[in-house]
Chain A
Amino acid sequence: MPRYFTDEHEWIDVEGDSATVGITDYAQEQLGDIVFVELPDVGAVIDKGKDAAVVESVKAASDVYAPISGEITETNSSLEDDPALVNSSPEEDGWFFRLTISDTSELEGLMDDKAYKTFVESL
């Protein structure tokens, strides 16, 4: 199962025409203690680059943009009661939402694990 990364610090696991999206360890570290995550509604159609979720830390609210376009099929209900999962397990249990991929060509140009690591080190 390939994992892609964006320069907005999101990760995308692709399995067939479905993708799971979350934010990276680097992103959660930058945001600090997360107290609330506003997730999209199931069934919502989101466009690449547009607002998909909002992460509230103690200090500020930050937008999470859709890394690819698609229809939301599932959101991580564990985050309602325990938003700190995004801090403790950002790249596994703290996932945000799943969607059906409407255009696989949007995956081209995203970074792989190695490229993302290099990108973060350059910041």
Chain B
Amino acid sequence: MSDDTPHDETPLDTLPLDSWHRAQGARMVPFAGYEMPIQYTGPSGGIVAEHNWTRESASLFDVSHMGQLTLKGDHAAHELEKLLPGAISNLKPGKMRYSLLLTEAGGVIDDLMVTNTGPHLALVVNGACKWDDIAHLREHLPDDITLTHFDDFALLALQGPKAGEVLESIIPGTGELTFMTAGLFEWDGAHLWVSRAGYTGEDGFEISVHEGRAEDLANALVADERVKPAGLGARDSLRLEAGLPLYGHDLDQNIDPVSADLSFALSKKRRSEGGFFGHKAIAARLAEAEGGTLAKKRVGLLLDGRMPAREGADVFAGDQKIGTVTSGGFSPTLGRPVAMGYVDALHAADGTALECEVRGKRLPATVSPMPFVPHRYFRGS
């Protein structure tokens, strides 16, 4: 869900855990305006090792660059619904939903998570978009809705099949949460907001913690031998395998949710009732999708061989250029290159044989359902 556009013109911010990452052997790179760990060095470090550890055990990711916001006010859910296509009013306390801030033309301003915490709505938005998102929300929400930016909170993601048992042993009760639910927990005198969610396709949690206690919590998590730190590099290859779009690459203001294959985020009731930015455009795209006349669609591509096709690679059907790769790389889990991109909807059916062009070479690619690697979310035992 995040963008890696470096902000060269402004000095980089540091994360609350900056020195912790460096002590763990992180290689830091500019990302979303912050110096962030792309990978760690040492025997268990490296993107592939960190990726595989996340799929096998559990990894700790620092996603504190993301914007943590709350909205408070009598009609906050109703007002927020004017800016996004998800049903928020009927979201019960402790439940969360993936949604999209939209322009009036139906383009994606950002993708985000919305949680009903009870007293307020909590929003987690992309790091590179957070200042624009705040301005957009402030401009369009009524003045009696209070927007708070929790910029003194870190966000730590614990992801992997062993995340549930590890976190339950450290913060009892968290194991009861199911995918896309959240709650307030106390740990060693600190209040933690824990969500069972993430962006790797694995079971896991995102933990919001005050920056003053972030290091204690990170230390407690990696003290468990099942947990190792992992960087942005592994996070990117994991989310690509999970078929999850990355804002700024697979999503932007010129792309609508229907073409982006995110129609699941358009709640049925809201599709029919409207009353949100972009409704008219989205209704038109949905009708096109229904009638088979949608112009382009986000699809997954499985490539033959070992050479990856990356962002910007042209996609061909025969001699005709019919699309562009928006994210691509080598899948450590599958041992072959995978990509996602936008192609003419006429060539978007699963199994369609296409080609990606890389450095003048045509690489055979097959349109494939996503996720490439099955999601393993915890929906209850």
**Chain A residues within 8 Å of B, Cβ to Cβ:** 32-33, 35-36, 38, 54, 56-61, 83
With a 10 A CB-CB cut-off, give which of A56, A57, A59 has the most chain B CB atoms: A59
| Complex Cα spacing A61 to B328, Å | 11
Q: Is B277 an interface residue (CB 8 A)?
A: no
Q: Measured between C-beta atoms, what is the minimum distance from B101 to chain A in Å?
A: 28
Q: Do residues A35 and B359 form an inter-chain contact, with CB atoms below 8 A?
A: no
Besides the known contacts A35-B337, A56-B330, A60-B310, 6 further A-B residue pairs in the complex with CB atoms under 8 A apart: A35-B308, A36-B306, A36-B330, A57-B47, A58-B48, A59-B236
Across the two chains, which residue of chain B brings its CB closest to A29? B41
Q: Do residues A58 and B47 form an inter-chain contact, with CB atoms below 8 A?
A: yes
Q: Do residues A32 and B306 form an inter-chain contact, with CB atoms below 8 A?
A: no
Q: Is B160 an interface residue (CB 8 A)?
A: no
Q: Measured between C-beta atoms, what is the minimum distance from A90 to chain B in Å?
A: 14
Sample of 14 A–B contacts (CB below 8 Å): A32-B46, A32-B47, A33-B47, A33-B332, A35-B306, A35-B337, A36-B307, A56-B307, A58-B48, A58-B51, A58-B237, A59-B233, A61-B308, A61-B310
Using a Cβ cutoff of 8 Å, how many contacts connect chains A and B?
42
Chain B residues with Cβ under 8 A from A57's Cβ? 47
Across the two chains, which residue of chain A brings its CB closest to B361? A38
Q: Which residues B306-320 have CB closer than 8 A to chain A?
A: 306-308, 310
Q: Is the interface of B mostly helix, strand, loop or mixed?
A: mixed
Across the two chains, which residue of chain A brings its CB closest to B38? A59
Q: Is B200 an interface residue (CB 8 A)?
A: no
| Complex Cα spacing A57 to B38, Å | 13
Across the two chains, which residue of chain B brings its CB closest to A36? B306
The listed residue (A35, A38, A54) touching B330 by CB distance below 8 A is A35
Q: Do residues B233 and A36 form an inter-chain contact, with CB atoms below 8 A?
A: no
Q: Is B174 an interface residue (CB 8 A)?
A: no
Q: Is B183 an interface residue (CB 8 A)?
A: no
| Complex Cα spacing A38 to B49, Å | 23
Q: Do residues B307 and A59 form an inter-chain contact, with CB atoms below 8 A?
A: no
Interface string of B291-327 (1 = CB under 8 A from A): 0000000000000001110100000000000000000
Q: Is B39 an interface residue (CB 8 A)?
A: yes
Q: Do residues A59 and B329 form an inter-chain contact, with CB atoms below 8 A?
A: yes
Q: Do residues B233 and A38 form an inter-chain contact, with CB atoms below 8 A?
A: no
Q: Measured between C-beta atoms, what is the minimum distance from B44 to chain A in Å?
A: 13
Q: Do residues A38 and B329 form an inter-chain contact, with CB atoms below 8 A?
A: no
Chain A residues with Cβ under 8 A from B332's Cβ? 33, 58
The listed residue (A54, A56, A58) touching B233 by CB distance below 8 A is A58
| Complex Cα spacing A80 to B332, Å | 17
Chain B residues with Cβ under 8 A from A60's Cβ? 310
Q: Which residues B47-78 have CB closer than 8 A to chain A?
A: 47-49, 51
| Complex Cα spacing A56 to B330, Å | 9
Q: Measured between C-beta atoms, what is the minimum distance from A120 to chain B in Å?
A: 16
Across the two chains, which residue of chain B brings its CB closest to A83? B306
| Complex Cα spacing A57 to B310, Å | 11
Q: Measured between C-beta atoms, what is the minimum distance from B255 to chain A in Å?
A: 24
Chain B residues with Cβ under 8 A from A83's Cβ? 306
Pairs of residues from A and B, 10 with the lowest C-beta to C-beta distance, nearest first = A35-B330, A33-B48, A36-B306, A58-B47, A36-B307, A59-B233, A58-B330, A32-B47, A33-B46, A33-B47
Chain B residues with Cβ under 8 A from A35's Cβ? 306, 308, 330, 337
| Complex Cα spacing A33 to B237, Å | 12
Q: Measured between C-beta atoms, what is the minimum distance from A56 to chain B in Å?
A: 6
